[in-house]
Amino acid sequence: MHATINIKEQLRTIDLSKPLDISIALTDTSKNPVAWYLDKPVISPVRVDNWVGKVSEGASVNFNNIQFNPHAHGTHTEGVGHISEEFHSVQESLATFFFTTEVISVTPEDFGKDLVIPAGQLKGLLEGKKPEAVVIRTLPNTPQKKSKKYSHTNWPYLHENAANYLREIDVKHLLIDLPSVDKEKDEGKLLAHKAFWNYPKKPRLNATITEFIFVPNTIKDGSYILNLQTANFVNDATPSRPVLYKLL
């Protein structure tokens, strides 16, 4: 199935039958990625008196509770409500769900004892393009990202100037394959979050950050259409399933 879309007054076609999923599934196993010092998610049957919500134990249906944290356990999308005193649901940030997108692969650079993604590298890779969304794949890129335990690892992060640059070219949706765009232990500064959302000066309520994605190496750098699917949670963040489509 194909669809024709209008991109900057140019008609382009996407093949809806070939989605490219860049989310990480949430599982109740040791293979689930984890960050922020939490244990793995728990998916377990409801137990009421002698009744267990599991077909293999005599119930007519499987009926599970799921305990997880969207920020710590997998692909999630967040809005400015993640860092604001005022409550803002992430759902307020998404009026539409398809966006022009650039996928770029970056190699974090040494910055003292850290590894950072600098503004200069983003500028060079985007080559003057101003997409609605940017997907950042960090190198090296291995399948181990989908099961890594990130707590206390000091993962690479986005430099404040890089987040400022993305805001300045009006990127509305930023996606990255790390637990956070910011340094793991930064004393609560959250410089990249604040720069991208322009917080607290003039918060961008229509902008989102999606973290903990995984972009397989089979997906090449370049232009795509992003379908940003989110679970309809009224919260600062929600589990999400970003899906890319090639432009034909």
* pLDDT recorded at residue 6: 77
* pLDDT recorded at residue 68: 98
> Cα 3–173–78 angle (5° rounding)?
120
> From the CB of residue 94, how many other CB atoms can be counted at a distance below 10 Å?
20
Rounded mean pLDDT, 67-94: 98
- Beta pairing partners, 17: none
Amino acid, res. 242 = P
> What is the reported pTM?
0.96
In tens, the pLDDT along 107-134 reads 999 999 999 999 999 999 999 999 999 9
At 213, the pLDDT band (50, 70, 90 cuts) reads very high
Q: Indicate the average pLDDT of the chain.
A: 96
Task: Specify burial of residue 248 (Cβ count, 10 A radius: 0-12, 13-18, 19+).
Answer: exposed
* pLDDT recorded at residue 5: 74
At 9, the pLDDT band (50, 70, 90 cuts) reads low
- CA 185 – CA 182 distance, rounded (Å): 9
Query: What is the CATH class of 2-26+70-246?
Result: alpha beta
Task: Specify burial of residue 195 (Cβ count, 10 A radius: 0-12, 13-18, 19+).
Answer: buried
Segment holding 239, helix H or strand E: strand 237-246
Would you say 78 and 90 are in contact if contact means Cβ atoms under 8 Å apart?
yes
In tens, the pLDDT along 125-166 reads 999 999 999 999 999 999 999 999 999 999 999 999 999 999
